[in-house]
Structure 1
Amino acid sequence: MIISDKSPEKKRADFRKALNSGKLLQFPGAYNPMVAMLIQQTGFDGVYVSGAVMANSLGLPDIGMTTLTEVSQTASGIARVTDLPTIMDIDTGFGETMSVARTVKELTYLGLSGCHIEDQVNPKRCGHLDNKELVSISAMVQKVKAAADAKTDPNFLLIARTDARAAEGLDAAINRAKAYVDAGADMIFPEAMKDESDFEAFRKAIDVPLLANMTEFGKSRLLSKSELENLGYNLVIYPVTTQRLAMKAVEDGLNTIKKVGTQESILDNMQTRKRLYEVLHYEDYNAYDSSLYNFNL
């Protein structure tokens, strides 16, 4: 109730154990805390907080316009309501090496279980768009090393994302990933893979855990859980899925109300008040309240 009873340290330790289990961990994206609660109640392994989703929620495109304060407040609000580990997107780190170090310390303190940082030039762009520009390997290595050195909990998962597949080719992307591992990355996130052979090549070349991004309408085919497990991947994110589902439903509903003048015909598309209260554990709050205020003055 209110916030999770499970400590951030325990979440991070359990997350590390789960990564070593050999099974693929599924992390759907949450665009608010209530979605994170649903993710846990549905039985997933963890929660992901997308930089694109946080930007979109502010009415902004995913081009690096958000600040550390904005995204850390959003992500911490999501992380605190669930027993699951929460990892988040920090884009290019909100600055250079000292800013990256500060970011990791802030997120650790706020209860996140990990984050990923990418090797694009800021302002960045969505990983599945063309014409991305990358920083030098040495510049990214400095950021990864700063992030690794800033960790106050060894179980905080530092994920290095490379966007080099589209910009420089597969071999260059793998070489970058190896350099990032040497600099202290705990996991590699190869972005915008073209096909299964790309995923397979990364698995053969990289010894640390790997993250797969199954975002809709992107460059990668939407691989199933079993396909990713067979490819040897450790974690999969579905970053924008819940926001896309919600926005389509909202748009359709608004159009119906505008056209018909009432929402009567779309009630079946809505989460009921009863179900909302179940998700939020409304009765538990009522019982707790009653247990406190059961005396006479």
Structure 2
Amino acid sequence: MTSKTLRRLIEEKPFVTCPGVFDLVSAKFADRTTADALYMTGYGVVASYLGLPDAGLATYSQMLDRVQIIAQTVHKPLIADGDTGYGGLLNVHHTVRGYEKAGAAAIQLEDQQNPKKCGHTPNRHVISVKEMVNKLAVANDARSSKDFLIIARTDARTQLGLDEAIRRGEAYAKAGADIIFIESPESEAEMRKIGMALDVPLVSNQLHGGRTPILSQDKLREIGYRMAIYPTAGLLATAYVLSNIYSALAEDKPVQEPLYDFNEFSSLIGFQEVWAFEKKYASLEAD
């Protein structure tokens, strides 16, 4: 899927919905829905790939590997979490080029200090506005196409207050960001204030279990948002089901959770193509 498709969705659709994906199975399921785009969640990828918290522990190379393999698997545009750009200005340049080449339609860059943390956890600190503006200037120059979108996220709300977060959103838009992401507003009133203050495409992080209210898409659109990401819904649902099923198996109890059909799952991950290949080349294997 070309990145041009995501820009067109933002420009033409009243609202763009992006479920969070964290591995290849979740990406395949989300790709089959009517969602507009997919969001590769750093929180979920670090948890599923490394078994670690999203606290600046994953490297650029590890995340790029996930971007590439997910982007090559799905048909919908993929928005990829790029954390802080994994270092200074040269790192940001390298990261933007790498994510774009890997097939992402957009990269999310944030203004946290290193090591960064999940945006709905405590003890986050932000860099100066000037530092982030410089990063965005480099990111803007690094991309080979303007259709590869830059999402600028600020985590200033928790540490410095909503007004400072809005001020940063304005500065980041002027620095070349295509979409502004103000992390973790704590009420609908705060979200409405953001929507009224910023005349640029806004994304809401609808993180289940986080600080921000979960609102309907109609409500989000009404108060000024053009896009929503849902990073944790699929991950937490999967964790809940796995916890119950594995406990039941360990205790020799019947599995109570509904199970996805085995044959349908085999089809989802490509066994039909394997069988078709084996049938086509059966005579060669016989030789």
User: What is the percent sequence identity of the aligned residues?
Assistant: 31
Partner of 2:31: 40
Tell me the distance in 2 between the aligned counterparts of 1:96 and 1:199.
31
Equivalent runs, 1:106-125 vs 2, <5 Å: 106-125=98-117
Partner of 1:5: none
Partner of 1:242: 234
- Counterparts in 2 of 1:269 and 1:122: CA distance versus 1, 3 Å: same
Partner of 2:272: 283
**C-alpha offsets along residues 183-232 of structure 1, whole Å, 9 cap, x if unaligned?**
11110001001112222222222222111001111111111111112123
Tell me the distance in 1 between the aligned counterparts of 2:146 and 2:79.
15
Stretches of structure 1 that go unaligned for 5 or more consecutive residues are: 1-7
Stretches of structure 2 that go unaligned for 5 or more consecutive residues are: none
Partner of 2:87: 95
- Counterparts in 2 of 1:131 and 1:268: CA distance versus 1, 3 Å: closer
Give the conservation status (yes or no) of the 8 Å contact 2:38–2:76. yes
Tell me the distance in 1 between the aligned counterparts of 2:88 and 2:39.
24
Give the conservation status (yes or no) of the 8 Å contact 1:13–1:155. yes
Tell me the distance in 2 between the aligned counterparts of 1:253 and 1:171.
46
* Residue 80 (1) aligns with residue 72 (2): yes
- 1:266 aligned counterpart, secondary structure: coil
* Residue 128 (1) aligns with residue 127 (2): no
- Read off the aligned partner of 2:149 and give its amino acid letter: L
Tell me the distance in 1 between the aligned counterparts of 2:56 and 2:275.
42
Tell me the distance in 1 between the aligned counterparts of 2:278 and 2:194.
53
**C-alpha offsets along residues 266-290 of structure 1, whole Å, 9 cap, x if unaligned?**
1752222112023234324433553
Tell me the distance in 1 between the aligned counterparts of 2:170 and 2:61.
31
TM-score normalized by structure 1?
Answer: 0.90
Give the conservation status (yes or no) of the 8 Å contact 1:33–1:79. no
Q: Which among 199, 215, 221 is matched to residue 207 of structure 2?
A: 215
Tell me the distance in 2 between the aligned counterparts of 1:41 and 1:266.
27
Tell me the distance in 1 between the aligned counterparts of 2:278 and 2:246.
37
Q: Which among 263, 266, 271 is matched to residue 274 of structure 1?
A: 263
Tell me the distance in 1 between the aligned counterparts of 2:169 and 2:21.
27
Residue 105 of structure 1 deviates from its aligned partner by: 0.2
- How many residue pairs are counted as aligned between the two chains? 285
- Read off the aligned partner of 1:149 and give its amino acid letter: D
Tell me the distance in 2 between the aligned counterparts of 1:285 and 1:204.
53
- Counterparts in 2 of 1:175 and 1:248: CA distance versus 1, 3 Å: same
- Read off the aligned partner of 1:35 and give its amino acid letter: S
Residue 292 of structure 1 deviates from its aligned partner by: 5.1
Partner of 1:257: 249
- 1:64 aligned counterpart, secondary structure: coil
Residue 165 of structure 1 deviates from its aligned partner by: 1.1
- Read off the aligned partner of 1:283 and give its amino acid letter: Q
Tell me the distance in 1 between the aligned counterparts of 2:60 and 2:141.
19
Partner of 1:53: 44
| Large movers: runs of 4+ above 4 Å | 292-297
- Read off the aligned partner of 1:103 and give its amino acid letter: T
- 1:236 aligned counterpart, secondary structure: strand
